[in-house]
Amino acid sequence: MSCDRRQLLKSALCGAMPLFAQSRAAVIDEYDARNIKLAHRMNAKTTTDDDLLFLQQIGLRWVRLEFDEGETASESLRAAQQRCARFGLRIYSGVHYSYRSVKVQLGLPGRDQDIEIYRRFLRELGRLEIPVASYDFHPANTYTTNNVQRRGYTAREFDLDDFRNKIEKHRFEREYSAEDIWSNYTYFMKAVLPVAEESGVKLALHPDDPPLVRMNGVAKIFTHYEGYRRAEQIAGNSRHWGLTFCVGTWSEGGDRMGKDVFEMIHDFGGRGKIFEVHFRNVSGPLPHFVETFPDDGYLDMYQVMKALRQVRFNGAAEPDHVPKLAGDNGMLRPGTAYCIAYMRALLRRANEEVG
């Protein structure tokens, strides 16, 4: 190589290096506390050490731990935390399905005892410095009407006509109005929010999935923007009340939701009221949808990730209702790895663009 050619190549490389360094510097490390925490949902009872090793292998450091209604979480939460720690994983949010007690959500005798179970769970989260408790409030819910094939993978479908004509039935001895459910939610919130505040735990409310105003003889109240605003007022604008914002659920509602996904992110997220995100796409809005991988639905999930970074959201974002790929079983590892890798790429690009 001639001297002139060597000098030209050297000059070109030197000129590119500042640009490369600038690009790298713009990226917030995935594990930086300011960044979104990629996480995955796990059941406290059925998750194995091999499952935890798998999550470690795909680069996760956060999980959402879920306990069934009958489990005594206080006895096993610390043990689960220690087991996760052996694989470099921390628990970001906890779920104890005692809040789904029919006594609690329908205001029946005995609800105070079930609420006390949940209050004890919140105190234990606080003692272990687990920051978020996620919950929902939709008794008599039907999540899906069928499992279907889409692009060769198996996913959950909801068809409103099938639900109304083939599946729906009254599940209880009477119908429950929206004001019935609001009364029961208010009672629950007044009982648990002070414990959450004392314990340093944030309560994250999931919307009704699917967002229909009534199912199986029971009204649903978290199906639109105004429902969330009313719940926020019931909580007295407490900084310990906020959202598990399910992108898939909100996309299912389409233009009936009062605000779209991006308006919700900028409203509640801009005020620090989004604590956790379920990162899911769907084929289209009601009356029919199929739950999809994030790259295969009608919503541009990169724009969702970008909007979350624009409001400086730094909570957990998790794949939700992961579709089933060939060879998937149990924890749906291939599908989970697919979702996490896609989310990681979107997050990296969003941080490069937003800064």
pLDDT in tens, 232-274: 999 998 999 999 999 999 999 999 999 999 999 999 999 999 9
Q: What is the per-residue pLDDT across 49-81, written as a single tens digit (0 to 9) for each?
A: 999 999 999 999 999 999 987 776 667 899 999
Q: What is the pLDDT of residue 19?
A: 44
Q: What is the pLDDT of residue 4?
A: 57
Measure Cα distances from 195 to 94, 187, 236, 237, 315 in Å. 15, 14, 15, 16, 21
Point out the residues of the chain with pLDDT beneath 70: 1-28, 72-74
Q: Is residue 77 part of a domain?
A: yes
Q: Is residue 294 part of a domain?
A: yes
Q: Is residue 6 part of a domain?
A: no
Q: Is residue 203 part of a domain?
A: yes
Q: What is the pLDDT of residue 24?
A: 47
Residue 294 sits in a domain whose CATH number is 3.20.20.150
Measure Cα distances from 200 to 125, 185, 191 in Å. 9, 21, 15
Peptide bond preceding 210 in cis form (omega within 30 of 0): yes
Q: What is the pLDDT of residue 11?
A: 52
Q: Is residue 18 part of a domain?
A: no
Q: What is the pLDDT of residue 27?
A: 56
**Cα(90)–Cα(86) distance, integer angstroms:** 10
Q: Is residue 269 part of a domain?
A: yes
Measure Cα distances from 38 to 54, 65, 80, 136 in Å. 14, 14, 19, 21
Q: What is the pLDDT of residue 149?
A: 96
Q: Is residue 100 part of a domain?
A: yes
Cβ partners under 8 Å of residue 291, min gap 6: 155, 156, 157, 248, 280, 281, 282, 321, 323
Measure Cα distances from 103 to 65, 84, 112, 147, 236 in Å. 24, 33, 9, 31, 25
Q: What is the pLDDT of residue 28?
A: 62
Domain hosting residue 188, numbered range: 33-354
Q: Is residue 211 part of a domain?
A: yes
* Cβ 77 vs Cβ 94: under 8 Å: yes
Number of structural domains in the chain: 1
Q: What is the pLDDT of residue 20?
A: 42
**Cα(73)–Cα(91) distance, integer angstroms:** 14
